[in-house]
């Protein structure tokens, strides 16, 4: 199973994101919108750590360790602010607030994976919420390569003034990435680590945002399901 850990902003913040994205789309030409694959509101999240493909036995060990990480982590004040891009590939909103705590959470979530012998990419952590991906980007294009089929620079500038309401991020969630028609197989994940099992309840079920704004989604044909979550109870 393909897994990642994330923090999901509350509904009020996601509604602000939807309003900003809808305004951006209305100001774009049809040609620009056709080149962008807009992420769906029910998939909006701030990734803490992406694990990729994880065997089920390792996933259960990982969930136990993530439960302990959450128990040591203090809730944090966050907001979405500003915009940026990953080379020619993706458009995103940035994260502000207690990002030092968020960075430590990301480090701990990565360390939990390494203790389970799960290999993850070693790269600087840059918290963000992905808004759109560009179609037709060459496979070899890197994050610092701005040459692509669409210049994202003007879109970034239009989104840069965005500021969301702040919120207290008080829990962390474990999601699996599924293909269309695929069912999550999570075993007892999270049940022995204080995790709240949520098999079959994707982000749309958590926040009720399904269908609020059109788009053809994130990674083609993919959907996310939450398989466990834990409150942040550190002091």
Give the start-to-end residue ranges of the domains of the chain.
2-231
Q: Which two tokens stand for residue 26?
A: 């209305």
- Residue 58 CB neighbours (<10 A): 16
Residue 211 has what pLDDT? 41
φ and ψ at 10, to 5 degrees?
-70, 165
Residue 218 has what pLDDT? 44
Q: Which two tokens stand for residue 210?
A: 């399904």
- Report the alpha-carbon distance of residue 210 to residue 222 in Å, rounded: 15
Q: Which two tokens stand for residue 189?
A: 């994940």
Helices (H), 28-138: 30-35, 56-72, 99-115
Q: End-to-end CA distance of the chain: give it in Å, rounded.
A: 33
pLDDT band at residue 199 under the 50/70/90 scheme: very low
pTM above 0.75, yes or no: yes
Q: What does the pLDDT average to over 161-178?
A: 96
Tell me the per-residue pLDDT of 10-36, one tens digit each, with 9 for 90 and over: 999 999 999 999 999 999 999 999 999
- Report the alpha-carbon distance of residue 172 to residue 73 in Å, rounded: 10
More confident of the two residues 99 and 206 = 99
Residue 168 has what pLDDT? 98
Tell me the per-residue pLDDT of 32-64, one tens digit each, with 9 for 90 and over: 999 999 999 999 999 999 999 999 999 999 999
- Report the alpha-carbon distance of residue 96 to residue 82 in Å, rounded: 9
| pLDDT reading at 104 higher than 90 | yes
Q: Which two tokens stand for residue 23?
A: 């305004």
Interacting residues of 86 by C-beta distance below 8 A, sequence separation 6+: 92, 143
Residue 235 has what pLDDT? 82
Residue 212 has what pLDDT? 41
Task: Write the burial class of residue 179 (CB in 10 Å: 0-12 exposed, 13-18 middle, 19+ buried).
Answer: exposed
- Report the alpha-carbon distance of residue 61 to residue 104 in Å, rounded: 20
Q: At what angle do helices 56-72 and 99-115 cross, to 10 degrees?
A: 150
Q: What percent of the chain has pLDDT over 70?
A: 78
Instruction: Look up the CATH number of domain 2-231.
Output: 3.90.1140.10
More confident of the two residues 102 and 123 = 102
Count, in order, helices (H) and strands (E) of the chain: 6, 9
């Amino acid at each position: 199973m393909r897994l990642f850990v994330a923090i999901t902003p509350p509904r009020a913040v996601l509604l602000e994101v939807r309003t900003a994205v809808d305004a951006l789309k209305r100001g774009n030409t049809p040609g620009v919108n056709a080149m962008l694959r807009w992420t769906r509101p029910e998939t909006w999240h701030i990734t803490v750590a992406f694990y990729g493909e994880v065997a089920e036995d390792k996933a259960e060990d990982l969930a136990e360790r993530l439960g302990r990480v959450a128990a040591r982590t203090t809730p944090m004040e966050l907001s979405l602010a500003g915009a940026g891009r990953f080379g020619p590939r993706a458009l995103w909103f940035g994260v502000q607030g207690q990002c030092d705590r968020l960075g430590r959470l990301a480090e701990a979530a990565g360390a939990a994976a390494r203790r389970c012998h799960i290999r993850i990419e070693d790269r600087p952590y840059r918290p963000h919420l992905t808004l759109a991906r560009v179609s037709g980007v060459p496979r070899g294009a890197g994050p610092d390569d701005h040459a692509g089929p669409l210049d994202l620079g003007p879109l970034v500038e239009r989104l840069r003034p965005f500021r969301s309401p702040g919120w207290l991020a008080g829990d962390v969630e474990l999601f699996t990435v599924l293909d269309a028609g695929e069912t999550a197989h999570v075993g007892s994940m999270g049940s022995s680590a204080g995790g709240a099992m949520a098999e079959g309840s994707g982000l749309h079920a958590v926040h009720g945002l399904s269908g609020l704004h059109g788009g053809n989604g994130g990674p083609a044909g993919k959907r996310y399901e939450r398989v466990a979550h834990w409150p942040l109870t550190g002091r």
